[in-house]
Each structure stands twice: as C-alpha cells, then as structure tokens.
Amino acid sequence: MILLDSDIMIDLLRQYPPAVHWFDLLDEEEQVLLPGYTVMELMQGCRNQSELTQLQETIEPCAIVWPLPDHCDTALALFSEYRLSHQPGMLDILIGQTAVSLGLPLHTFNQKHFSCIPGLQTVQPYRK
C-alpha cells in the first residue's frame, strides 16, 4: 500500500514526467491510498467542473482513507502542541496522523509540513 499526499497527486494530474514514470513503474497489485483530507485539498484547488471531473477520474482507482476518532484526538493534541512552534497546517496534521495510524510512510515532498509528527515516515518517490 502506498499513501500519497496532495503534492504527489498534483504532479500526477499535471503529468509531471518523473511522477508519471514513477507511478507507471508501480506494481499493478499495489494499492494506492489517499487520505480523505488530501482529496478535499485537491478538490479545493479545482477551478472548474472540467478539473473536478479530471480529478475524480484520476482518483477513482484509489482507496480513500480517514483517521479514526482516537487518531483525530491525537492529531488535535499534536496541533495544540506544535501549532505555535512549528506552524503545521491543520490538514497536514490530520494527513500525517492518518499515515501514522495506518503504519505507512507518506509519499510527499513536503517534509517540513510533517516534521513535528512523531513516528511519521515520509518518502520522496522521485526526483524533482
């Protein structure tokens, strides 16, 4: 299973060659997961119905995952603890905590956004 952050999905949607090449090399059996909050971020960035439709078609084969209530409680505690010192985004904390709760690394290039989340591993899957 591979858990993707929004920046990776944006690269795929924009057909960024290194992202597409990496994605095409994935085993067909590999399940791609998207945190629900990532999907919402991507939808928020759509400027028109055409972009929204393209996004929906692109994410259709992916499984959307959500944190459980106790993981949201942990995310809230982390946000409270690190909001002023590290300035993480609210959704970044929720996305990172989703990865931790699943025991999966988060594929992202935004390591700084997630640096304060204990136990979170991040992966940069291709070169930028």
pTM of the model: 0.93
Closest of 72, 77, 119, 75 to residue 93, by C-alpha = 75
Distance from C-alpha of 94 to C-alpha of 84, rounded to nearest angstrom:
17
Taking only the tens place, the pLDDT of each residue in 81-109 is 999 999 999 999 999 999 999 999 999 99
Q: What is the reported pLDDT for 9?
A: 96
| Phi, psi of 56, deg, nearest 5 | -60, -40
Q: Which top CATH class is 2-123?
A: alpha beta
Amino acid symbol at 117: I
Among the listed residues 97, 87, 91, 89, the one whose alpha carbon sits nearest the alpha carbon of residue 118: 97
* pLDDT tens per residue, range 10-30: 999 999 999 999 999 999 899
76 contact partners, CB below 8 Å, separation of at least 6: none
